[in-house]
């Protein structure tokens, strides 16, 4: 396959950025999207050109590091798929592909396609944990949890914190991420004791970081690679009003 890549290049946080056209040749349809970028970078380095900077880690779809906007869609055209699990067979020979970083005031660009998502870390540090003694793992296994609550907790815990929800929201809202992290613990006995304190602290930190409000566009749910439901946003808002 031969492709025309339109890639966002930016030397640093305070530097102006631009779209740069790069030809990708010798691409196999069996490559993942990141393997395609690896091949392009090898060619750029061989030609004495600075490679494209992008984030990656496990490449197994479980860490959320591979954050890219591909043709205007977070993680690309395949539903429920991270960028690292997106394969080039989803594209056609001769295609033009636009590759950009997450666009959010709370996620400043570091270089090229790499953004600073430490705002998510600070939200988690504000309350995304259990700080009281609720017993060890054997104790947890002995506490009866209704199946519906267990399923909801598991669904919320699937959030990998990639930030696709923020990048796709027209308001740059982080409410799907925050509500998933809150909802994960809210549906388990071990997390309910500190639920109100956790809710207030994490929402306050979310607002402090400069994320926008939710206006029910549901773009977050549409692009989430773990297909987390926006119902958690409703639960979080309901509980926030109550407390």
Are 97 and 169 in a shared domain?
no
| 3-class SS of residue 43 | helix
- Same domain assignment for residues 155 and 226: yes
Cβ neighbours around 12 below 10 Å, total: 11
Is residue 166 within 8 A of residue 173, CB to CB? The reply is: yes
Together in a domain, 229 and 137: yes
Q: Domain holding 104: CATH number?
A: 3.10.20.30
Cβ neighbours for 220, distance < 8 A, ≥ 6 positions apart: 164, 165, 166, 168, 169, 173, 175, 176, 230
Q: What is the pTM of this model?
A: 0.94
Q: Which helix (H) or strand (E) holds 236?
A: helix 231-242
Query: Do 75 and 148 reside in the same domain of the chain?
Result: no
pLDDT at 139: 76
Radius of gyration of the chain (CA): 20
Domain that holds residue 208: 118-242
Q: Are residues 53 and 152 in the same domain?
A: no
- The pLDDT tens digits of the residues spanning 6-44 come to 999 999 999 999 999 999 999 999 999 999 999 999 999
The owner of tokens 């860490």 is 63
Residues 99 and 154 occupy one common structural domain: no
Give tens-digit pLDDT for 118-160: 999 999 999 999 999 888 877 777 888 999 999 999 999 999 9
């Amino acid at each position: 396959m031969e492709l025309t890549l339109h890639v966002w290049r930016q030397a640093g946080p305070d530097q102006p950025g631009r779209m740069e056209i790069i030809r990708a040749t010798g691409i196999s349809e069996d490559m993942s999207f990141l393997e395609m970028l690896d091949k392009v970078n090898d060619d750029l380095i061989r030609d004495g050109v600075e490679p494209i900077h992008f984030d990656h880690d496990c490449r197994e779809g479980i860490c959320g590091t591979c954050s890219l906007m591909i043709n205007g869609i977070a993680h690309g055209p395949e539903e429920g798929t991270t960028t690292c699990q997106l394969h080039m067979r989803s594209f056609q020979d001769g295609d033009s592909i636009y590759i950009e970083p997450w666009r959010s005031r709370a996620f400043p660009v570091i270089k090229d396609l790499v953004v600073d998502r430490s705002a998510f870390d600070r939200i988690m540090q504000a309350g995304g944990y259990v700080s009281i003694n609720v017993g060890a793992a054997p104790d947890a296994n002995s506490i009866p949890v209704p199946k519906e609550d267990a399923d909801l907790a598991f669904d919320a815990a699937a959030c990998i914190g990639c930030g696709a929800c923020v990048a796709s929201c027209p308001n740059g809202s982080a409410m799907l991420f925050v509500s998933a992290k809150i909802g994960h613990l809210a549906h388990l006995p071990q997390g309910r004791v500190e639920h109100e304190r956790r809710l207030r602290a994490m929402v306050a930190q979310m607002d402090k970081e400069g994320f926008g409000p939710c206006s029910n566009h549901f773009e977050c749910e549409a692009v989430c690679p773990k297909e987390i439901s926006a119902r958690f946003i409703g639960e979080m808002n309901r509980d926030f009003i109550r407390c």
